[in-house]
Structure 1
Amino acid sequence: MLALLAPILAFAQLQPATTLAPDTEAHWVDFELTAYNQIRFPIELDGHSSWAILDTGLSDTIVTSRFARAAGLIAARRQQALAIGGGVEVGWADVASIRFGGLTRSHGRVGIADPAGGMHFGADILVGADVLSCCALDLDYDARRFRILSSGRMPFTGSTASLRRKSPNGVYQSEISVAGKLLKPIIVDTGDGGALTLSRTAWASTGYRAARITTTLGWGMGGPVVTDTLVVPSLWIAGMGPREAEMRIEGEGGFSASVGAAGRLGNGLLRGYRVLLDPRAGRMILQPGKALAVPIPRSTSGLLVEFTGTALRIVHVMRGSPAATGGWRAGEQICSADGIPVPDDAKDGVIEWTIGAPGRVVRLELCDGSERSLALSDFY
């Protein structure tokens, strides 16, 4: 999960100007979904090419300090800002241009900040609502491409929900229903890799009672965040439903509540549709896509892992899972599963055995030479 950043102060700056190419509708931008389920695409800032994350839940565009040094950006002023996982210091720098697809933004500013704990999301630029809200954003998840259109365009038909920008931070907001309860405002956050995250208060207001709730781990600019998680069978969006959705529940004082939102809607749910986000026209249009029919992947191991290049490092052990019962711990490293070395097992980016069939027993060799078995089961 990528951070939603909410600056607390405004500074005088050159008035930014956004222009779209006359043939902007033909300027599709190919993207990939990262390991954290964010939209990663090529961009140019002040003539320097880099990778960016498309982040409608981010109030202002952010670059890493590494990119800032390479591009010669100098922070003239600094401030503390609120982010998922905690506070973060942001420096502000003026820029000449940002270009991607058919969009060119001249002048304006960017923030300079780095994720806490040395986390790197595979990109050095996070493009926020300050740049994106000029226009309509057409997200074709099935084809892994997007384009920037003039506000008011409707390139496809589908179900419609309201969409607006919240003042003063300008992030995208809509609404959903869970278990028959209308929840708003819900931040529409293409920088969030999860499906749906609710504040503790919003979750309680639904009256839904789940028999099994576990935990998961997410990351923000401010650091890692552990949340309760479950699968709900009754989510409605843009009048469509009910459907299953994985939901995360923030603790008391979590990020959503701190910015006055009921929760956040991320790529984990949006990727099931073709999506048009047009806050100036006040609408979000959703057209069901191929991924909507794919069952929600559920862990049957309880191990959340990251690929280090040679091994799988355990980053979180889900509560009540087979891994938790078996005494597995964060930080341990796995070098093979059922005799298959991790580098071979991870070639397609999917570690199949972590969500394998219940009842399967997986033989795991740790990098310290020890071996353990893990019996997979349904636990949430």
Structure 2
Amino acid sequence: MEFRAPMILLATLLGLAAPVERVAAAPAVLHLAPDSDTRWVSFELTPGNQIRFRTLLNGRWVDALLDTGVTDSAVTTRFARSAGLKPLVSGRADAIGGSVALSWTGIDRVEVGGLVRTGGRVAIIDADPRVTGNAPIDLFVGSDLLAGHALEIDYDAQRFRLLPSGRLPFRGVTLPLRLADRSGLYLSELALGDRILRPVIVDTGDGGMVSLTRSVWQASAPRTVRTTTAIAWGLGGVVENEVAVVPAVRIGGLAGEVELRVEADTGFSARKGAAGRLGGGWLRRHRVLLDPRAGRMVLAAGERAAWPITRSTSGLMVAPDRDRLRVIHVMRDSPAAATGWRAGTLICAVDGAPVASAARDWAIGTPGRRVRLTLCDGNERTLTLASFY
């Protein structure tokens, strides 16, 4: 799996398709500055490959995520309370992991790079902090703000900008891109083997590389590929998927090995009528232009384009728990599964070193290596790393 903090092996999914509700708010007016091409926005990548940046909402600086998998921009319940935003209309929205409760409120002004929107509505959602990593998020910037313009994301320089639709600031491989009629999700396509799969949701808020529905995977899967399991958090809760590393995925003229997740046919992609999703874990390997109004996505290989996929060799997915590590999932058919590890186990030391100072790559180490893990109950266990998917 490819993550910036590989020991944690924690993927993140967002996805929010909100129903249209009437809210007593000033009409939304969007304005893109004439010099928007100079208004780059710096960002950092979260451990889940999400684009995190600072921007202004109602005159207040907020922490935001750039998320094309969110239909309507949303603020967290925590931020709404602190900012005095009153919920006006309640409802529910479809999200990765299940439906979530939300409410709607009006806002005065939001700025994203050279784009300013005055008036309009925003959703209020109770977001699980595990969705966005350790640092809380105030605002999810979604399709309602982004889709009318060209969005250029320079992952190597960690910056993005909004441009007038139709601009072509760099050359690369071009794929079709459109908006879903009802949800406003970004839709494109990819190829697995000799099959073209469409539509595929393009989701900058999904930390994974590629996801497919189970029925699409079963019809297209290479016979020799081994699968395991992994978990991730969506706005609607925890999701467990099958995971495989597949060498033959083509996206436009770009081909290579990808980590692929297999979703249930009752999952978010299938509910939206899509074959799957293309996420930030794959997009971050490229310079990206998303311009649904012009009908295209443009990709140029970046510095990370040839990075190998990082795979677990332990089968332990862990998360920080104060000065310990908590096992949150044991991957199927892994060394950890074969030796009886269970979710919930607490680890206090690795090879004799406290968790805080231990090597961070132990869970993805060289097959055959023996790792000594000290549990917080004082017991010690040895895990022999191996390739298992």
Range into which the TM-score falls when normalised by the shorter chain: over 0.9
- Residue ranges of structure 2 left out of the alignment (5+ in a row): 1-11
The equivalent of 2:86 in structure 1 is 74
Q: 1:60 to 1:182 in 2, by over 3 A?
A: same
1:320 matches 2:295: no
1:135 to 149, 153, 171: 149
Deviates more, 1:6-15 or 1:151-160: 6-15
Could you tell me how far apart the structure 2 residues matched to 1:315 and 1:262 are? 28
Could you tell me how far apart the structure 1 residues matched to 2:131 and 2:304 are? 29
Residue 227 of structure 1 deviates from its aligned partner by 0.4
Could you tell me how far apart the structure 1 residues matched to 2:358 and 2:270 are? 40
Could you tell me how far apart the structure 1 residues matched to 2:172 and 2:130 are? 41
Paired residues in the alignment total 375
The equivalent of 1:7 in structure 2 is 18
The equivalent of 1:335 in structure 2 is 348
Identity percentage of aligned residues:
50
Task: Return the TM-score normalized by structure 1.
Answer: 0.95
Contact 2:48 2:132 (8 Å CA) reproduced: no
The equivalent of 2:174 in structure 1 is 160
Residue 117 of structure 1 deviates from its aligned partner by 8.4
Per-residue deviation, residues 234-292 of structure 1 (Å, max 9, x unmatched): 00112222x11110001231121111111010011111110011111110000001111
1:197 to 211, 232, 249: 211
Q: Give, as a single letter, the amino acid of the residue that structure 1 aligns with 2:153.
A: L
Residue 222 of structure 1 deviates from its aligned partner by 0.8
Task: Kindly indicate whether structure 1 or structure 2 has the higher relative contact order, using CA contacts under 8 Å at least 6 residues apart.
Answer: 2
Listed as ranges, the matches of 1:1-380 within 5 Å are: 1-11=12-22, 14-116=26-128, 121=133, 122=135, 123-241=137-255, 243-345=256-358, 351-380=360-389
Residue 223 of structure 1 deviates from its aligned partner by 0.5
Q: Give, as a single letter, the amino acid of the residue that structure 1 aligns with 2:207.
A: G
Could you tell me how far apart the structure 2 residues matched to 1:9 and 1:42 are? 27
Could you tell me how far apart the structure 2 residues matched to 1:276 and 1:112 are? 29
Q: 1:16 to 1:69 in 2, by over 3 A?
A: same
- Residue ranges of structure 1 left out of the alignment (5+ in a row): none
Could you tell me how far apart the structure 1 residues matched to 2:130 and 2:353 are? 30
Deviates more, 1:227-236 or 1:310-319: 310-319
Per-residue deviation, residues 34-88 of structure 1 (Å, max 9, x unmatched): 1222111112111121111110011011111110011111110011111111111
Residue 209 of structure 1 deviates from its aligned partner by 2.3
Task: Return the TM-score normalized by structure 2.
Answer: 0.93
